[in-house]
Amino acid sequence: MESSLAAEAIDVVKVFGKGDNVVRALDHVTVGFPTQRFTAIMGPSGSGKTTLMHCLAGLDTVGSGRVKIGQRELTGLSDAALTRLRGDHVGFVFQSFNLMPTLTAEENILLGLRLAGRRPDKAWFDTVVRTLGLSSRLRHKPSELSGGQQQRVACARALVGRPKVVFADEPTGNLDSRSSAEVLSFLQTSVRELGQTVVMVTHDPVAASYTDHGVLLADGRIAGRLRRPTPDAVSSALANLGA
């Protein structure tokens, strides 16, 4: 199913504010994110990266246009239906880990499934935990883990339900370079070896170089694309956009 799209925005417009304070955060954006690919969304500060991700994930509504996760259209769904669709088909990794401090790593990884009343697939859970090197850390609380380990727990939590797509918003923003490399390598492995789909917002050219391709945003519009981006190619593309 290589040519199918895990997530798609079609002619999406998103406006914040009113009158003199209007900001056109997304200005007729059309972009697709192929399944089993690792894609970076890049662009200068304020270019609309997070807004695009939030609209794609159904965390925010669009002003006009359409958004799809797999074959499902999000536009017009009720809040309850959106919550269910996110729970079943979307995983999230945030810059700030967002783990529950009183729960162990294993309980954090499984919390979303438990809340959704879904039974974890034991073989898949073991594969994800082993690939992330977390097997010996499952009984630890977040405060007993390093930042890199906490973010790996967050990656496992995002992947354990085998979502159609994982959205990662600056997942290495709070990590040192070694932990960043571990987390990025894992996200790459989850795509190349485990067949998952990851869309990552980043402004870091090194982080972007782990992806299969990059989508560049500027002023709320698609400003370019990069195949197999190298750090140098990303840096010069961003410099050309005035970042």
Residue 93 forms beta bridges with which residues? Answer: 168
Tell me which of 11, 17, 100, 230 binds ligand ATP, using CB under 6 A: 17
Distance in Å, CB of 137 to ligand ATP, minimum: 30
Least CB distance to ligand ATP at residue 41 (A): 8
Tokens of 243: 């970042």
Phi and psi, residue 201, nearest 5°: -85, 125
- 95 part of the interface to ligand ATP, by CB under 6 A: no
Near ligand ATP in 32-51, by CB under 6 A: 43, 45-51
Nearer to ligand ATP (CB atom), residue 3 or residue 45: 45
Edge-to-edge, what's the strand order for the sheet holding 64-69?
A: 23-34, 5-16, 64-69, 72-73
Query: What number of other Cβ atoms are within 10 A of residue 30's Cβ?
Result: 12
Asked if 131 is part of the footprint of ligand ATP (rule: CB under 6 A), the reply reads no
Cβ closest to ligand ATP, residue 43 vs residue 163: 43
- How many binding residues for ligand ATP (CB under 6 A)? 13
Q: Pinpoint the alpha helices (H) of the chain.
A: 49-56, 79-89, 105-115, 122-131, 147-159, 177-192, 205-208, 231-240
224 makes contact with ligand ATP (CB under 6 A): no
Positions in the binding site for ligand ATP (CB under 6 A):
16-17, 23, 25, 43, 45-51, 203
